[in-house]
Structures are given as C-alpha cells and as structure tokens.
Chain A
Amino acid sequence: MTMTNPNDDMLDDLLAQARGASPLPSDALMARVIADADAAQPRASAMPVARPGVIARMLDTIGGWPAVSGLAMATVAGIWVGVAPPASVQDVTAAMIGDEVSINLFATDLMIDAGAFGDG
C-alpha cells in the first residue's frame, strides 16, 4: 500500500508555506539591534596611556639605557686611545701616515706654575 496519508499532505503543505515566510527586518528592528551592538561593544581602557617624552622616545630608538652606556664606554675608550695610544696602534699610525704624530694637549708654556700664585 502506497497511499499517502491526507494528514501528512496537509502538514507538508503547511510546512512548505512556513518555509516561504522570509520577512525582511524592519528599519526599527535594525536600529534596535545596532543600538544594542553599540551599547555592548567592549570599550578601550578608560585609563589614558601616558605618551613617552622626547628623551624616552630617542632612547627607545637607539635601544634604551644599556645602549647609552655602551656608547659612553666606546666614546671614552676612543678618546683614551687618541690621547695615549698603545705601542701597537702607534706603529700602525706611523706605517699609515709615515711619521709619528704627537699632539701635546698640555703645552708646557701654557701650564700655570702653581708656585706663582704662592709667591703672590
């Protein structure tokens, strides 16, 4: 027996009618949903984040305080090598320039004799 049940036919017809119901959201509903979305949206932290100052940003650029101490050490070492070059560096300088270069930072004729003040 392959008779169809009339009750099933009626239900299938009802279900098909219901499937066809596809209402478009009204403007009012969309406005309500968006208002909810805006109200529920997580906000950024209320505490303002302090903006780093000029020096801090400059330090960040070169790598912070450790980089500054490294630069200072290198500068001091460079000056020291210039003032009192080790023998090996002197040899290299002489070979490249052709002669030994010697700069006297404290010329003897300019040196103040401490004793002169004492004599008044």
Chain B
Amino acid sequence: MNASQDPFAGAEDAALLVAYANGDGQAARYLMARLLPRVLAQATRMLGNGSEAEDVAQDAMMRLWKIAPDWRQGEAQVSTWLYRVVANLCTDRLRKRRGAVPLDQVAEPPDPSPSAVAQMQTQARMMALSDALAQLPERQAQAVSLRHLEGLANPEIAQIMDISVRSVESLTARGKRALADIMAGRKAELGYDDDEPE
C-alpha cells in the first residue's frame, strides 16, 4: 500500500474505523496496515512466542472490527483502546500458562552453528521473560510491559489502564523488582554468567 496513494492520508484512525463501519472495505485495509504491526509487536514482546502473538493480534483486530459500529469518536483513541485490549488478551494467556507445562524448554538446535545457538538463546530468554511476567499479578505485568517493553510514558499508561499516574508508578516499580527477583534464579540457564551485558 503506497502511502502517497493513501486516500485516508492525514485522517485519524477513528475516522477510518467509522468509514469501515459505514461500508468502506478499503478503510479496513488501510487501518490494518497502520495498526497490525504494532499490535503484533506488543503481543510478541509480552508472550515471547510468535504463533501465540499472531492469535492475539488477530483476536484484538477482530474486536476492533466488531466495535466499529458503536465507536464514539472523540472519546478514546483507537491506539489506546488497542493497547488495552492486547494487554488484557496477553495477560489472559499468561494466566493460563502458569499452570501449564513450561514452554521455555528449548530443544537443542538441529543446526549447531554459533548463529543458530545464539538465536535459540535469544528465544529462550524472551520466553523466560514472558514466563516471569506470567508470575506477576496481572496489573503489575501490564504496567511493566507497557512501560518497559512498549516504552510508553506513565500518563499514557494511566490512560490505557484507567488508573492514576501514581498507581502506574507504584505498579511498575513493584513489578520490575519482582521480575528481577524471578529472573535472578535463571541467570546461568539463560547464559548470563559468561555473557554479561555490556
């Protein structure tokens, strides 16, 4: 989709959503091009698993299509709403993961080249981080992920989570401390004894 030919260039996401609800099929395509990459990235960072993240991204977009006829312009930003939906869908999945068999048991790579080993280690680390998020209370996990994985500012997180900025500060501080404690037990397993960050 060429941006110079975008008939919705300059229009807000909400305007495209209303156009979609009014029967404009093209609006959905342009809206997907704008929103899906970020939705997928947020889900991937929280879940540490590509296929699970794709399912969440599809589910979040489906919820957007369904709410389109009832969307009230000016009340909320589509991006804010989507951050909340993805965070909720991810914490739902993380909750189910708690009682399940750990997914972070990474098998030996069939290709033992250094790049393949490094890739496996990165995968293992991302999954370990996601599993650690799963052990936090859900609101803490959401606040930590929005702050430290999405890089959002506290006022924006407060809007997404519908809480005060002070509550966001408290949740992120406690959440990050708890996350560090959980991850400390897996230091050697994740290759941090001989691979210290610079």
Contact = CB atoms under 8 A, between A and B. Distances in A.
Contact of B61 (A13, A18, A36, A42): A36
Interface in B47-87: 48, 50, 53-54, 57-58, 61-62, 65-66, 68-69
B180 A7 contact: yes
A120 B62 CA distance: 95
Contacts of A5: 180
Interface in A29-81: 29-30, 32-34, 36-38, 40-44
Contacts of B23: 41-44
B188 to A, nearest CB: 11
B65 A41 contact: yes
A11 interface: yes
B183 A7 contact: yes
Q: Secondary structure of the B side of the interface?
A: helix
Interface size class on chain B is 35 or more
Interface residues of A, number: 33
Contacts of B65: 36-37, 40-41
Contact of B187 (A10, A19, A41): A10
B32 A30 contact: yes
B122 A34 contact: no
Contacts of A6: 196
Nearest to B126: A18
Interface string A9-24: 1111111011101111
Tell which of B48, B68, B180 has the most Cβ of chain A within 10 Å.
B180
A2 interface: no
A32 B150 CA distance: 25
B69 A42 contact: yes
B48 to A, nearest CB: 8
Interface string B151-171: 100000000000000000000
6 contacts: A11-B180, A13-B197, A19-B148, A25-B57, A38-B25, A40-B65
